[in-house]
Amino acid sequence: MNGQWIGIVSGTINGAVILNLDSRQDSYEGRITVLNSVLENVSIVAQVKINKNEFDSNTGCFKGELYNFLPIRQDSIIGNRKDFPASTKDQISEIVKIDGCRIKIHPVPKIHL
């Protein structure tokens, strides 16, 4: 693993985010965990890919995509796609575009879903 970032997420989900990335030839790839601040709502893990040409090392801004979403069940075990609540299962697409930036005042990255 080349890097781990812990921060906040905002958008359709609000809560904490943990991002683990490895450097590949043309991209950064890894896993993202999003812990929903509303405990009754589903938290998720997903694969993440950020192409190196979509990352600005000067500003820390990036664009990428999430895929292979899986729920974190109430017992803290990663479930299967079928474990998503029925209301959530139909709202999660196969691939989600993301963007984010490191904020200079506060070094915690914000990711928008």
Q: pLDDT (tens digit, 9 = 90+) per residue, 52-101? A: 999 888 888 888 998 888 878 766 777 776 666 665 555 566 778 888 77
Tell me how crowded residue 95 is: count the other CB atoms within 10 A of its CB: 12
The pLDDT, as a whole number, for residue 105 is 43
Q: What is the DSSP letter of 94?
A: S
In the numeric block, the tokens 């664009």 are attached to: 63
Count of domains for the chain: 1
* Residue 26, pLDDT score: 94
Q: Which domain holds residue 104?
A: 3-112
DSSP line for 49-108: EEEGGGEETTTTEEEEEEEEEEEE-TTS-B--GGGS-HHHHTT--SEEEEEEE--SSS-S
107 backbone φψ class: left, alpha, beta (φ>0; ψ -120 to 50) = alpha
- Compute the distance between CA of residue 69 and CA of residue 34 in angstroms, rounded to an integer: 11
The predicted model gives 24-49 an average pLDDT of 86
